[in-house]
Amino acid sequence: MTTLAFLDTPPRFLFFTGKGGVGKTSVACATAIRLAHAGQRVLLVSTDPASNVGQVLGIHIGNTITPIPHVVGLSALEIDPEQAAAAYRERIIAPVRDLLPAVEITLMTEQLSGSCTTEIASFNEFTDLLATPELTAAYDHVIFDTAPTGHTIRLLQLPGSWTDFLNEGKGDASCLGPLSGLEKQRATYARAVDALKDPAITRLVLVSRAQKSSLAEAARTLSELATIDIACTNLVINGVLPASVGAKPGASEDELTTAIRTRESAAIAQMPAALAAITTDIIDLKIANMMGVEALVGLLADEQAVEHEEGVGGAPWVLGVMEAPHAPLRAIIDQLEADEHGLVLCMGKGGVGKTTVAAAIAVALAHRGHDVTLTTTDPAAHLSETLQGEVPSLTVTRIDPESATQIYRDRVMKSKGSKLDDIGKAALWEDLQSPCTEEVAVFQQFSRAVHESQNKFVIVDTAPTGHTLLLLDAAGSYHREVARQMGDSIAYITPLMRLQDPVATKVVIVTLAEPTPVMEAAELQDDLKRAGIAPYAWVVNNSLAAAGPSSPFLRQRAANELPQIARVEELAPRVAVIPLLAEEPIGEARLTALGR
C-alpha cells in the first residue's frame, strides 16, 4: 500500500475539504476503508447538503449511523439537512404544542422552516459529534467528508460565530425560532471550537486537483481557516495523470496526453508558496470510476497504470471505433438568445465547471450585442480569474456574503432603527449580528438579480448544489410569507414565481460524464421539479469521449463516459457536450471559442 503522509499517525478527527469536484468524497471514503481494514473502528460523516457518500459506497445511508456491508469496523452517517431541521423543529415545538393556540403553532412552524433553521440544525449535529465524546465513543476515528470549500468555511466558522453571538448578543427578531434552542448549546459550541483548533485531536486535509484554479482555492482556504485559528497541515493532490500513461514504445505521446501532463506539472510547480509549504501527497488518476468498495481500495493502493497495445492492463479494447458526441454549446446559446433577456441559472455539483459554462454563455451573449450581467452566489467563486479582463456589454458582479450582510444591516438600522431609542437600537444591532442575517442578506441580493433579468440577460454562476437548494428554500419561505400576508386581495410576484416561469428563467444543469455527478444532477433536477422549476438544458463538461483521445488509458476513461452521456440524453430536454480541452478555457478568447 502507498505510504501517505496524511495518514501517518492519524488523530481522532480527520476533515477532508476543498473545491468541489476534486474527489473529497472518494479520498474520505477510501481513507475510512483503509483504516477499517487496519482494524480501526471508523465513523464516516458527510456534512455536505448534497452528500453522495451512500452512492459511492453503494448503500443507502441517510441521517442515521449505518454499518457498511463488507467493511468490518466501518459505519457512515450523512447529516441530512431536511431531516435534521424536522427533528430540530419538533424538539422546539413539541413542549408547547398542547399549550398554545393552533395559529401560534402554525406561525412557529413557519418561522422554523427557513434555510437558517436548516443550517442551525445541521450544524448542531456536526458540533455534537465533535464535542460530545459519548456519541462517538464506539469509534477510534471520525472522518468528515465536507461540503465544497465555501460552505465548509461557513460551517467551520459557525462554532465561533454562534459562541460570539451568544456571548455578546441578545437578538431575537430575525432568528426568533432558531435561537430558542441555541443557549443550551453554548458549552457544546465551545468544546467544538477547542477540538477544531487542537492538532492533536483534529487533522484538516485539503484536497485539490493539479489545476491552477483548484490549487488557488486550496490556498485561499488555508488562509481563511488560519484567520480563525484552524490549521490545515496536509494537502492531497488527487487524480494526477500517472507517469506510465502516454505513448506506446517507439511512438510519440499524443497531443491531449502531453497537454494534460504539462498543465498538471506546471500547476503543481507554481502552486502558492503557503500551500507548497505544507505536507503534500499525490494520488494518481485511476482508470475506473470511484464507485464501490473495491474501486475505493484501489484509490490509495500503490498501483501504476500499465498500457498495452491491445488495451489497458492486458484487457481488450472497450471502445473500438468511437464516434465523439457532437452537441455544441452554441446551439443552447442560440436558443437562449431568442428571448432577448432573462435569467439563466447554471447549477450543479461543485467542480463540474459551472463558472466556465456561465462565463462562456455570458461572453457569447455580450458579443452578440446584448446587455449582460454575470454574477455568482458561490462564496468560493472567482469570475475575474475565469474572464481575465473586461468584456464590452458584460458587467461582472458577485453576491458577496460579507458585503451583502453589511449592506443589509445598515439598511435595517437606517429604516427600522430610526424609530427606536438608544436601547432599542442597541438591541436591534445585536440581533443583526446573528449568522442567520447572512442568509437573509444573500437572498435579498439574489432577488435583486432576479428582478434585473426582466430587462437584460442575467447569468448566475450558482454555489454547489446543496447550498443553492438552501437559497431556493429561502425563496420558497419568502414566497409563503408574502402569500400569507397578501392573501387573494392583492396581485404580487415573488422571486420564486419568476424562477418557476420557464420564459423568465432558464436553468442549465452542468455535470461531468461520471456516475456521481450525473446522479447528483438527476437528483437536483428532481428537487427543482418539486419546487415547480423545470430545467432548460444540461451541459456535459470536460468530456474525454468528445475530445477523442488516442492514449489507451484515456480511451478507456472515455469509454466509461459513454453510458453516462446516454443517461444525460434520457434525462435532459436539451444537451450540450463540451470536450476536455488541451488548454483551460480561461480568458475571453478561449471562452468565446467554447461558445462557438
Active-site positions?
21, 23-26, 48, 516
- Identify the three-state secondary structure at position 535: coil
DSSP for 341-403? SEEEEEE-STTSSHHHHHHHHHHHHHHTT--EEEEE--TT--HHHHH-S--TTEEE----HHH
Residue 316's alpha-carbon distances to 208, 290, 565, in angstroms, are 33, 21, 22
Residue 7's alpha-carbon distances to 159, 213, 295, 586, in angstroms, are 26, 26, 19, 35
Single-letter amino acid, residue 141: H
Report strand pairing: 66-67 vs 74-78.
antiparallel
Measured CA to CA, the distance from residue 49 to residue 465 in angstroms comes to 8
Single-letter amino acid, residue 132: T
The three cell numbers locating residue 420: 427606536
Backbone angles phi, psi at 15, to 5 degrees: -110, 135
DSSP for 432-487? TTSTHHHHHHHHHHHHHHHHHTTTSEEEEEPPPHHHHHHHHHHHHHHHHHHHHHHT
If one counts every other C-beta atom within 10 angstroms of the C-beta of residue 473, the result is 23
CA end-to-end distance (rounded Å), the chain: 46
Measured CA to CA, the distance from residue 358 to residue 360 in angstroms comes to 6
Single-letter amino acid, residue 505: T
Measured CA to CA, the distance from residue 540 to residue 329 in angstroms comes to 10
Q: In what order do the strands lie in the sheet with 141-145?
A: 66-67, 74-78, 42-46, 141-145, 13-17, 202-209, 232-240, 279-284
- Identify the three-state secondary structure at position 588: helix
- Identify the three-state secondary structure at position 81: helix
Q: By the 8 A CB rule, do 218 and 238 touch? A: no
Looking at residue 26, the DSSP 8-state letter turns out to be H
The three cell numbers locating residue 67: 454499518
Give me the residue label for grid cell 468584456: 391
